[in-house]
Amino acid sequence: MKNFDALELAEPLARALADMGHTTPTPIQAQAIPPAMDGQDVMGIAQTGTGKTAGFTLPTLHHIFTDDREPPKRGARVLILAPTRELASQIGEAVRDYGRHMMNLSVSIVYGGVPIARQMKRLSGGNDVLVATPGRLIDLLDRKAIRLDEVEVLILDEADQMLDMGFIHALKKIVNVIPKDRQTLFFSATLAPKIKQLSKQFLDDPVHVSVTPANRTADKVTQIMYKLSRGSKQERLAVELLQPNVGRSLVFCRTKHGADRVVKKLAQVGIPAVAIHGNKNQNQRTRALEAFKSGAVNTLVATDVAARGIDIPDITHVFNFELPNVAEQYVHRIGRTARANASGIAISLVATEKDTDELNYLRDIEKLLKEKIPEGKNPTNMAEEVTKLRARKALPPPEKPQPDARKGRGKSKKKGRFSKDSKKTDGRGNRPQTEGRSDPSRAMPSDKTQKGPFADKPAKDLPSREGRSRKAPTRGGGKPKMSGGASATEPRGRKPEGRSADGKRPAPKHVGTSESRKPAPNKFGGRGPSKGPKGGKPGSSGSPKGKGGSRGGSGGRGKPSGHRG
């Protein structure tokens, strides 16, 4: 197929293609658009950058234009599912670009990481096209903010990536609420067994189209790999990024924290870089991509998931800082360069330690490619090489590493109340006095006065700490009694609780007697009623009733105890 005119697309779409300078369809577009326009299901195998977005967008918009109707309230006529926010945004913008001349075309994009209330409000009126990530769409369904019972076309882009991200159950839940008589367009970068199984569940007698098999890399990508220790990777990456022929570069890491570490280490040698991954919020990801696309930063560090949907044509180098554990992912990574008939270079850093398993990953990749990746030679001293290249490029001085706020800055030599020395005790369980507390003049200067009851006395005349003894604990939790009811553990110089100034215990109030009537003392040294034997009557021991007759042992303070005589 030589040009788009042969496809007989709707006039607004043909005009939009002319505005954008698109005259000839790509192979995947030429294969997918005709059956999709006829209403057939399509199973497409194509990598990112092959033009598959237009391959499913153009026939979908053609269907909306030729079958003009109002979109359902809180619903959509066309549903497009994508694995990541970046890819969903890119697809939504493509739909708007191709449908720029279609009157009243409504397009909404929903994904996580942003407030859901605005999205719910935007969906309430209905949309012709809804682009969504599976997770956020499930949230909207659970809130009953959207209904999918009138979807006419379902499109799944990067289906293999959605399965890798664990969206299989979400996809099945979404498909179950969509009418079975829909049209389904299913696109994936690979044709793994799980993809075949899923396509059988979602598609009805599909037309199979494919370009660039998954085990083939772009013809104009030069591949090379370096074997080195894990700790030398950062310097090796810096050596490559400082080369004069390196332009806009994409660095792949397996983990989010690994991507952040690479950015931090590159900044320390004067190489600016930005990172995108799942831990970044939407504003941070958008700013990072804008800085990379505008050329303000030439190095973008990303994880495989976050890199889906990045479509930048002039990437000169792709670096595998860490090899992927899935061989097909290697093909996806290096396919980011050498686009639009340009050439590119893919450099892989392979750790030789056995615990990294990267040598095994390398063997799997070469088995998939059915070819050996050439091995390069590392500089003898990479640190010196980095210094030379930095001087040649006249880069600004590298950033100094910032201390980690989560780690301590050293052990304090001060001895406070919570130091280790403060927890030491002598043989009797007493803590030793600190140096400052043993000197009263240091604790409170003598030329100053203290507020409170001793305000008129200088500090040197105040009682020292040695005179304030503590109440020692006793076994059993009680207080051993001395003759006369005194406690053996009460400190000297303190008035015992419940006694008058002369040391005598005051007479307690007795039930059934007047205030002035004093009960007779009982045989246990206390005053008050005592309890007789079980079943006895008050005063059964011969004492007058109400005058402390023997009922048993007394607690010593006029309160009957549990002792039974």
Report residue 200 as tokens. 């059988």
Q: Which residue type sits at 248?
A: R
Q: What DSSP designation does 430 have?
A: P
Q: Which of 223-237, 348-362, 496-510 has the lowest mean pLDDT?
A: 496-510
Residue closest to 324 by CA, chosen among 377, 277, 365: 365
Q: Are 383 and 354 in contact (CB under 8 A)?
A: no
The span from the CA of 273 to the CA of 240, in Å, is 14
Question: Sign (positive/negative) of CA torsion 236, 240, 241, 244?
Answer: positive
The span from the CA of 145 to the CA of 124, in Å, is 7
Count CB-CB contacts under 10 A for residue 70: 11
The per-residue pLDDT for range 82-100, each reduced to its tens digit, is 998 888 998 999 999 999 9
The span from the CA of 315 to the CA of 249, in Å, is 6
Q: Which domains are delineated in the chain?
A: 4-210 (3.40.50.300), 221-393 (3.40.50.300)
The per-residue pLDDT for range 473-518, each reduced to its tens digit, is 555 555 544 544 444 444 555 555 555 555 556 555 555 444 445 5
The CA-to-CA distance between both ends of the chain, in Å, stands at 115
Q: Are 305 and 84 in contact (CB under 8 A)?
A: yes
- Residue 72: pLDDT above 90? yes
- Residue 151: pLDDT above 80? yes
Q: Are 25 and 4 in contact (CB under 8 A)?
A: yes
Determine the longest span between alpha carbons in the chain, in angstroms: 129
**Going by DSSP bridges, is the β-strand pair 299-303/274-276 parallel, antiparallel, or unpaired?**
parallel
Phi, psi (degrees; rounded to nearest 5) at 458: -70, 160
According to the model, what pLDDT value does residue 550 have? 43
Angle between the N-to-C axes of helices 85-98 and 52-66, in degrees from 0 to 180, rounded to the nearest 10: 50
Q: Which of 3-17, 37-51, 216-230, 542-556 has the lowest mean pLDDT?
A: 542-556
Tell me the pTM: 0.56
Report residue 209 as tokens. 């189209």
Q: Are 132 and 111 in contact (CB under 8 A)?
A: yes
Q: What DSSP designation does 394 have?
A: T
The span from the CA of 221 to the CA of 331, in Å, is 11
Residue 424's pLDDT band, with cuts at 50, 70 and 90, is low
Give me the torsion for CA of 66, 67, 70, 72, rounded to 10°: -130
- Residue 177: pLDDT above 90? yes
Angle, CA 113 vertex, CA 54 and CA 315 arms, to 5° = 45
Residue closest to 510 by CA, chosen among 564, 557, 553, 552: 557
According to the model, what pLDDT value does residue 343 have? 85
Residue owning tokens 């030491």: 424
391 against 69, higher pLDDT: 69
User: H or E stretch including 91?
Assistant: helix 85-98
Residue 443's pLDDT band, with cuts at 50, 70 and 90, is very low
Q: Are 352 and 359 in contact (CB under 8 A)?
A: yes
Q: Are 313 and 342 in contact (CB under 8 A)?
A: yes
Residue owning tokens 């979908």: 60
Question: Sign (positive/negative) of CA torsion 426, 429, 435, 438?
Answer: negative
DSSP string for 486-547 = -BTTPPTTSPPTT--TTSPPPPPP-TTS-TTPPPPB-TTS-BS----STT--TTTTSSPTTS
- pLDDT above 90 as % of the chain: 44
